[in-house]
Amino acid sequence: MSLFLLLIIVALILGIVGAAVHGLLYLLIIGIIVLLADLVYGVMRFRRGGRRHRRMR
């Protein structure tokens, strides 16, 4: 969960810096790519999270 939140924060910071600073549009694009990759990671992790933690008796 902490990796998910860390990547969200990094994507937001890169997006803000890329949009605010003239000539650093590539940071905005990298921030969007990191955000999309993080969302895919989060969906995959939360979708199969319930089945992974079952205990065998």
User: How far is Cα 15 from Cα 55, in angstroms, rounded to an integer?
Assistant: 42
Query: Cα separations (Å) of 15 from 23, 54, 57?
Result: 13, 39, 48
Residue 4 has pLDDT above 80, yes or no: yes
User: How far is Cα 40 from Cα 14, in angstroms, rounded to an integer?
Assistant: 18
Q: Is 24 helix (H, G, I), strand (E, B) or coil?
A: coil
**Cβ-based burial of 28 (10 A; exposed 0-12, middle 13-18, buried ≥19):** middle
DSSP single-letter state for residue 5 = H
pLDDT in tens, 11-57: 889 888 888 888 888 888 888 899 899 889 888 888 876 555 556 66
pLDDT at site 28: 87
